[in-house]
Structure 1
């Protein structure tokens, strides 16, 4: 078989030669449709970009103290009814500049990014949402073999030039839960399962992230109240310890959200919180779920 040359192959599949170009190529001569001002009927609550992935640096009080991870950004602004659109590229430009400065991703640096966006877009309201996996070293209880575990982190910032910042921090982690009912009624054992605990907290105004590693604090609130922690590596003596610990600390999803809520209530830097636990049940087709929302 003789295959045509590449240009002929492209033509075969629909490619055509460029036409004569008549529209301007210089930015200053191009029409800016997004900058059109008329009455476009409605204000837009949020317009911007989503699912933007960037490598970021974060700090932790757990090992590894300095780590690079991949964060997913969503950024947006309000738009009044008399503006047709926003300048999407400015969101990406601000984020690239932020990343190019090799800044550690923190509440302080994100607030600087948000203020920069408000100025660039000449908008009073800006929203940014960031998610990323946070890694930490986890030792097995007996063998002390160490490997990396991780939790999912979310940071949401809502900024108003008149009202300031509203910050919500979220951590989701996996734990072991053992069914109290199964333990009570069974002759030999009890079923257990993997549960996801998700906590979202709002911060007090004087919260100092240099003094409090909120990631660790939320992780402790979830894991210390579960039946047992999740471990990347377990040898047989470790497995004995973990399964016996789970048997000694049975938890319904209702129990776990209440216990986690009590810890969050005691954190003086938390002003409001949401706690959800969802179990992938091992002997049921359904998941079990419980949720608490509380404002101090």
Structure 2
């Protein structure tokens, strides 16, 4: 280091002085209890607080989870985004937010396998921990599955976004809803009909929300694979991570042979979901990212099979 560099080197104050410079102050006297048992618990106050609260809790909680599937890879670790909640009666001021994450960590210590039976156990125990009559948990996560090219059989990983919601009430029991957002290819029937050659296609997103029957057995049916098949089998073509030229020829020709509007997609997917015995109620949305427009095309269909009884 030469003399010029020595001359220009900054002489910084100590870290403590720097903190003071940017607003830190000397701690004041401590007069309040430090032991939990001696601290005031505002959320456990009991008065007439005017209204009941439908749901209170925490959301956007990211946590590692394990999931199983009948498709490869059969066991995988992914990231779940959680939301937890429970109702609050009129006499209770609020909930203890830390109990939600305490419950999550307790299950994490045992390796949190996100299946319906585990989530049912989780919500019932959560209601007890919160000292409430009900509790709910929603978890969203990316689910990965292997997809092979139709001709080359070269494999790669696709993914879909899965959602599970399990609710528990001490009087009515459990309620289970699942959902999947899958990506498909659609080819425009109108374009095919009016053009001398070719037809435009687009990427479609099919979102399905399904209420499961009370007797649904996840050991017999992989609901993720079932919903994925409902979306993909009714598309113009499936999405592939790896396509060699023979694969691309097959996929594009298949799309041309199976043109679909968004209206067609939701009706065809609805027919499959209607035939699934484990589905009681469903809602389907198809959104096509149009390739010759700046806007998207969208269609939504809902149906409740319980109304037929």
After TM superposition, the score normalised by the length of structure 2 is 0.94
Aligned partner of 1:118 among 90, 102, 127? 127
Q: State the match for 1:63 in structure 2.
A: 72
What residue is the counterpart of 1:289 in the other structure? 298
Structure 1: runs of 5 or more not aligned = none
What does residue range 116-265 of structure 1 map to in structure 2 within 5 Å?
A: 116-265=125-274
Deviations 1:87-141 (A, max 9, x none): 1111111111011111421000000000101111111121211100111001011
Count of matched residue positions in the alignment of Structure 1 and Structure 2: 296
How many angstroms does 1:43 deviate by? 0.6
Separation in 2, partners of 1:12, 1:35: 41
**TM-superposed deviation, 1:18:** 1.2
Match of residue 101 from structure 2: 92
1:34 partnered with 2:47:
no
CA displacement, residues 184-215 of structure 1 (integer Å, 9 cap, x when unaligned): 01112101000000111111121110000111
Which stretches of structure 1, 4 residues or more, deviate above 3 A after TM superposition?
A: none
- Counterpart secondary structure, 1:245: helix
Q: CA deviation at 1:272?
A: 1.0
Partner Cα separation in structure 2 for residue 123 and residue 9 of structure 1: 48
Structure 2 residue runs without a partner (length 5+): 1-9
Q: Which residue is equivalent to 1:52?
A: 61
Question: 1:153-198 CA distances to partner (integer Å, 9 max, x unpaired)?
Answer: 0011121110011111101110000000000011121010000001
Report the TM-score when normalising by structure 1: 0.98
Larger Rg over CA atoms: 2
CA distance in 1: counterparts of 2:37 and 2:113, whole angstroms: 36
Structure 1 vs Structure 2 CA RMSD: 0.9
- Contact 2:124/2:134, CA 8 A, preserved across alignment: no
Distance (whole Å) between structure 2 residues aligned to residue 32 and residue 122 of structure 1: 15
Deviation at 1:2, TM superposition (A): 2.0
2:166 counterpart SS class: strand
> Aligned partners of 2:242, 2:18: CA distance in 1, in Å?
54
Shift of 1:145: 1.2
**Cα distance in structure 2, aligned partners of 1:209 and 1:269:** 10
